[in-house]
């Protein structure tokens, strides 16, 4: 299941009743409304990239299923299974790198109301102008390709280089779902002035039944390069348990390299991350049930 096609601004522009419901506090965001009820109701105006008729014309079996009330729309089929199946007739949309508005809306529903009422034109605008100074934390995410992702804000940031989508059904508790795993990617993650969390893996959650390790699968050819990491202030989140990883300290083994720090590997020797400018990493916490831990 993937909601990557969804665009908050397009949805609210096409459905003023949803915008009004958000302003009144009934929903935290357009995405939450869409995930809870809009998709089931057959609301299809969710993105400038979505063409309902084109998808149905390209997939007559889906058209028949919609006519037989098995799906509310071609869009519902696409989100539930069509994208994963590689169906024709739809534009594959990757996530936009940088500030993740869907996460921010779900975490701070008051921001959704402020945007819906016209105080700000977007979640990012609210974060830049006001939220970051109020202690709000931004979530900065990447794509399925190589990215440079920079955190921002005195209160710190959550930073990942992979592509994620957000399950926003629970107000105040957004759940990032990986759409890529970092395999084949080289991402540069740059910390802010605050206390940052760099994601190198996700544990289990209500919407993720298994752990997900990032940057594993292509040896030294996929990894995260982490800059502006401060031990004791910033944290690395990894999936699994500490005994599944090893670290080395010293100059990084890149061609033409002039930097040093701590390199993180899996026990099988797969390069996961290079943390620039530090000499040692220590365990800072672990949730064995959820399957993740922190280093600092």
List per-residue pLDDT tens for the chain, 296 residues long.
788 889 998 999 999 999 999 999 999 999 999 999 999 999 999 998 899 999 999 999 999 999 999 999 999 999 999 988 888 898 777 667 899 999 999 999 899 889 888 899 889 999 999 999 999 999 999 999 999 999 999 999 999 999 998 999 887 889 999 999 999 999 999 999 999 999 999 999 988 999 999 999 999 999 999 999 999 999 999 999 999 999 999 999 888 888 999 999 999 999 999 999 999 999 999 999 999 999 99
Give yes or no for a contact between 269 and 209, defined as CB atoms under 8 angstroms apart. Answer: no
pLDDT at 94: 66
Contacts of 63 (CB under 8 A, 6+ apart): 56, 57, 74
User: For the whole model, what pTM was predicted?
Assistant: 0.84
User: CA-CA distance, 154 to 135, in Å (whole number)?
Assistant: 8
At residue 280, the pLDDT reads: 97
d(CA 233, CA 143): 26
- CA torsion, points 218, 175, 33, 9, in degrees to nearest 10? -60
Question: What's the confidence (pLDDT) of residue 97?
Answer: 86
Exposed, middle or buried, 281 (CB in 10 Å: 0-12/13-18/19+)?
buried
Strand 164-167 relative to strand 175-178, pairing: antiparallel
């Amino acid at each position: 299941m993937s909601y990557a096609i969804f665009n908050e601004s397009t949805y609210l522009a096409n459905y003023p009743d949803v915008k009004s419901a958000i302003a009144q506090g009934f929903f935290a965001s357009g995405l939450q409304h869409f995930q809870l009820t809009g998709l089931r109701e057959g609301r299809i105006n969710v993105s400038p990239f979505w063409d309902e008729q084109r998808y149905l014309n390209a997939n007559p079996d889906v058209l028949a299923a919609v006519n037989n009330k098995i799906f509310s729309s071609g869009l519902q089929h696409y989100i539930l299974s069509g994208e994963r199946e590689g169906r024709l007739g739809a534009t594959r949309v990757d996530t936009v790198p940088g500030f993740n508005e869907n996460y921010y809306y779900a975490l701070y529903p008051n921001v959704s109301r402020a945007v819906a009422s016209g105080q700000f034109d977007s979640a990012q605008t609210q974060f830049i102008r006001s939220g970051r100074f109020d202690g709000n934390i931004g979530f900065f995410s990447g794509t399925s390709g190589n990215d440079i992702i920079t955190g921002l804000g005195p209160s710190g940031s959550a930073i990942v280089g992979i592509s994620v989508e957000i399950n926003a059904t629970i107000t105040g508790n957004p759940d990032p779902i990986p759409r890529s795993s970092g395999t084949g990617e080289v991402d540069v993650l740059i910390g802010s002035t605050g206390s940052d969390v760099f994601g190198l893996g996700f544990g289990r959650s209500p919407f993720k039944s298994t752990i997900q390790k990032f940057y594993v699968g292509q040896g030294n050819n996929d990894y995260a390069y982490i800059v502006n990491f401060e031990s004791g202030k910033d944290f690395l989140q990894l999936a699994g348990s500490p005994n599944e990883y090893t670290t080395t300290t010293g100059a990084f083994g890149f061609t033409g390299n002039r930097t040093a720090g701590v390199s993180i590997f899996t026990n099988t020797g797969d390069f996961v991350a290079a943390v620039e400018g530090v000499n040692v990493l220590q365990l800072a916490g672990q949730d064995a049930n959820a399957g993740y831990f922190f280093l600092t």
